[in-house]
Structure formats: C-alpha cells, structure tokens
Amino acid sequence: MSQDIFGIQAALKSLGIKDLHQGASTGMEWIKTSGDVISSYSPVDGLLIGKVNAAKQDTYDAVVNIANQAFSQWRQIPAPKRGEIVRQVGDRLRGKKEALGKLVSYEMGKSLQEGLGEVQEMIDICDFAVGLSRQLHGFTMHSERPQHRMYEQYHPIGIVGIISAFNFPVAVWSWNAMIALICGDVCIWKPSEKTPMSAIACQQILSEVLKENNIPEGVSNLLIGDFRIGELMSHDPRLSLISATGSTRMGKKVGAAVGARLGRALLELGGNNAIIISETADLKMTIIGAVFGAIGTAGQRCTSTRRLIIHERIYEDVKSRLKEAYNQLKIGSPLDPANHVGPLIDQNAVELYLKAIVQVKKEGGKAVVEGGVLNGKGFQSACYVKPAIYEAENSFEIVQAETFAPILYLMKYTTIEEAIFIQNNVPQGLSSAIMTSNLRESELFLSHMGSDCGIANVNIGTSGAEIGGAFGGEKETGGGRESGSDAWKYYMRRQTNTINYGTDLPLAQGIQFGF
C-alpha cells in the first residue's frame, strides 16, 4: 500500500479496507467467494491498495435469492421510514467524507477536491431521497363513468441491478441506490472492477446503518467481478431494472440482453460534448469552463468537454487564451491540491489516448497543444499524460467517437445555426453548452431547434451537473435519466386504478352489454 504522505493509510483504516476482501455482500455479512483475484492498484503511484476474491455464478445466484426475499419485507416498510434509513446513511457519509473522498481520489485518480465532491454528491442525493420519501405521488383523473373514481399510483418494482463505471466509483451508485431504496426496491450493485475498494467502503458504511436498524439481509447487495457478473444481471428476469452507466458499446449489450427478456433498462452511456463559443461570449468565464470541462478528472467524465465550436471572428483569440491556460496547468498527484490534473485510470486508457492522437493527426488535425505521456520526477506511475488540444473537423472519425482522455478538438463556425448543427452532428447526445451574451442565441439553443442533448446549458460548461436535475442523454447516450427531478419513476411500476362506488356497471365508451 501507499506511504501515508496524504493520510491514505489512515483513510483506509477508517473505512475498514483490508489487504484481501470477499467480493460479495448482502449487507449483513461478506460471502466467501472463489473467483479470480482482482487487484486494485492506484494510478497515482502504481501501488497496491488491496485485493478482492471475485464473485462467481453460484455466489450471484445466492445473492439474488436473498435479495428477492428481502424485497418482500422491505417494500412493506412505509416510504418515510425507508427515508429515515437513507437519512442515517447520509449522516454516516458526512462523518466519512474525508476518508472516502481520499480513497476515491487515490483509487480512481481524480483530484482530491473532485473525490470529496463525489462524496458530497452522495450526501446530497441522500438528502434529496429523504424528502422524496414523503412525495411519491400519483394522479387523480375524472372518470367518464358516473360514480367512478380513477387515479394512478406507483409501486416498488423489485430488484434493481446497478452497473457503475470507474470514473464515478461511488456517486452514480448512490444516485440509483438511494432513490431505489426509498421507492421500496432492493439493490444489487456491480461496480467497476477497476475501483473495487471504493465500492467495498460504501457497502460497509451502508451495512452498518442497516444492521443498527435491524433491516433484513439483502436490501443492499454488492457483487464484485468482471463483465460476466454484468451479463448475469442483464439476462436475469428476476432483476426488474438494470441501471447501467458506461460506454455506448457496453450499453448496447446490456440494452439488447434486457430488451430480449422485456425487462427495463436505464442506460447512461457515452458523451461527445461540445461548447459553442459565440462572438459575444465572456471569454474569461468561457476559458475557465472549457478548461475544467476538458481536463477535469483527466477528461474521464461522460460530460467532459470534447469539442469547442468557436465563432470565426474570435477563433484565434480563444485558441491563444487556451494555449496560455494549458501552459499553466500543473500535472501530478491528484492528492496534492496544487495540481490540476491527475493520471488516467490505467495503461489501457493511456494507449487509447495515444491512439486518438495518432488518429487525429492522420485525419489532418493540427496540434495547438501537443499531447504525450509524462514520466520522470513527480510522476509515480506511467498513467500521467498531457492534456492536448487539436484543430479538427467535426467529420473526422476520431472526433465522432468518445475518447476517455483529456483531448480537446477546436473547430470554427459562421452562423449560430451552423454551430448547432455541428454540435448535434455526432452519435452521442449527453451534455451541451453555449457561451453567449445574446438572448436570441441562447433561446434558440434551448429550443426544439437547438441542442438535441439531455443536458443543455447557457454560460455554464458541459461538466458538473447538480443532483436536483434528471441526469442523462439521448441517441447513443441511451435515453436514461438518473438522480433528481422525477427520475424516481424509473424505479417504480405505474398502476391505473378505477373504483366504482355506485350500484350500476356502466362500461367505458358507452358500450352496452347485458343478459
């Protein structure tokens, strides 16, 4: 494990992280597993954090059976009482925020501020879910038949399977789990095998609360393993909903498997996010938003800014400002608050980054800020790379794809209609933004003729969504919505009820039937 330079050892001890863990938990105990050993190495310094015995199919089946039994009990607890459990989870996270934030930063490679921010997201969604537990509402409609009352209500859906990605190793799980729990569902979580220790820490925190409240075993479950666990979940009709966050390639497989059994899928997949920079934009604010969007989490957010679509009159000015800003970036350990950029998650991510640079040049792109791998003093692993900027065309094959790395593409536009067309002309549709002081431009961008993304911002970057809004996107982003607004409806089944309190039996549409 790491030397305790930034208090990592103390954080691991506080969170109960051991050298070897079992890869399955039902919330009450860890189940002995016999799968392959998964080793978690930090991209910060390349050192081992811990190992996990992965779950296999026999363990999977046991966990699903326990979860199914727990659902029959958990759904009977009134929603506000379920909210009370989630409130206690939020309070426990407040006490563990520093330790868990450090672990997230150390295991994933994002800055400490972003790690702490991710835990704060978890706390915020707990608060949101607690309030929501008293607002799970339906609707009442007027019936066309006399002495009839018609209304809609929502019921728990069952077992919710959560498949999360490495880039947000804890927050995305909480978006799903806290909402599902107050809805009366039980959860099975398959985290990324690249960040298992963060998941184990969360499961232990939640398990403590469940035990203290005598909650049935199986309400919150964890299964650590590779893609095979995800495949089992996707094909299993006992799991009513699969919420999967990750690449479009992965999401298509999950969607096909769940769709084949007529199950329900909530997919939050890749992004190819752009900021349109108008000639009326406040450039000081614009550069901050664009740089954070492009280099935050080392470009490993689904909402990371990939493209800047810049008005031709200010193109050279923006390009010059970006070069100046990039020259001031400090790259190194994300646990050091002086640094802006940490490492990529692993060597595979580095290889994809390098291939993208080769490809953009091959297609005719020109370097504004050249990329490359960083090594030597101050770089304790081989996962550190330079944030790069290239002039490119939107039609380039590499620009049309999502590269999970800090690579930013610049392109020009003449009219706002052209800029919106360029922004929309990619397969993905997650996040988008326009920087402008022109009211007509901003309103056009937000209209039905504007951005086709699930998120559209004005004078804000593409990255850094609040939990109060529903999060997700269109097209190859999958169409799912997580977190706030009315996303809770994904986790419940909708039922229409009609009550006849009269003595006659009139039929709808005036149909006459008698004998």
Structure confidence at residue 34 as a pLDDT band (50, 70, 90)? confident
Q: How far apart are CA 166 and CA 190, in angstroms?
A: 11
- Provide the whole-model pTM: 0.96
207-235 pLDDT per residue, tens: 999 999 999 999 999 999 999 999 999 99
What does the pLDDT read at residue 515?
A: 84
What does the pLDDT read at residue 29?
A: 87
What does the pLDDT read at residue 2?
A: 43
What is the percent of the chain with per-residue pLDDT over 70, rounded to a whole number? Answer: 99
Q: Are 109 and 298 in contact (CB under 8 A)?
A: yes
| 383 in catalytic set | no
What values do phi and psi take at 218, rounded to 5? 100, 0
74-101 pLDDT per residue, tens: 999 999 999 999 999 999 999 999 999 9
What are the distances in angstroms from CA 364 to CA 385, 395, 497?
22, 11, 61
> Mean pLDDT throughout 250-256?
97
469-503 pLDDT per residue, tens: 999 999 999 999 999 999 999 999 999 999 999 99
> Mean pLDDT throughout 268-280?
98
What does the pLDDT read at residue 1?
A: 40
Active-site pick, 126, 202, 302, 453: 302
The amino acid present at 84, given as its one-letter code, is: E
What is the percent of the chain with per-residue pLDDT over 90, rounded to a whole number? Answer: 95
What values do phi and psi take at 201, rounded to 5? -60, -45
Structure confidence at residue 196 as a pLDDT band (50, 70, 90)? very high
The amino acid present at 294, given as its one-letter code, is: A
> Mean pLDDT throughout 280-293?
98
The distance from CA 292 to its chain's CA centroid, rounded to whole angstroms, is: 18
> Mean pLDDT throughout 22-35?
92
Residue listed under structure tokens 């495949």: 231
Structure confidence at residue 363 as a pLDDT band (50, 70, 90)? very high
> Mean pLDDT throughout 173-194?
98
Active-site pick, 268, 402, 441, 476: 268
Q: How many CB atoms lie within 10 A of CB 5?
A: 11
Domains along the chain?
Answer: 8-269+478-494 (3.40.605.10), 273-467 (3.40.309.10)
Q: How far apart are CA 240 and CA 263, in angstroms?
A: 6
Q: Are 87 and 130 in contact (CB under 8 A)?
A: yes
Instruction: Please check the confidence at residue 3 and state whether its pLDDT lies above 70.
Output: no
Enter the tokens of residue 427: 């397969």
What does the pLDDT read at residue 18?
A: 85
Instruction: Please check the confidence at residue 189 and state whether its pLDDT lies above 80.
Output: yes
100-158 pLDDT per residue, tens: 999 999 999 999 999 999 999 999 999 999 999 999 999 999 999 999 999 999 999 99
Mean pLDDT, rounded, of the chain: 96
Q: Are 349 and 108 in contact (CB under 8 A)?
A: no
| 466 in catalytic set | no
Q: How far apart are CA 418 and CA 426, in angstroms?
A: 14
> Mean pLDDT throughout 403-418?
98
Give the number of C-alpha atoms closer than 13 A to the C-alpha of residue 470, restricted to the C-beta side: 16
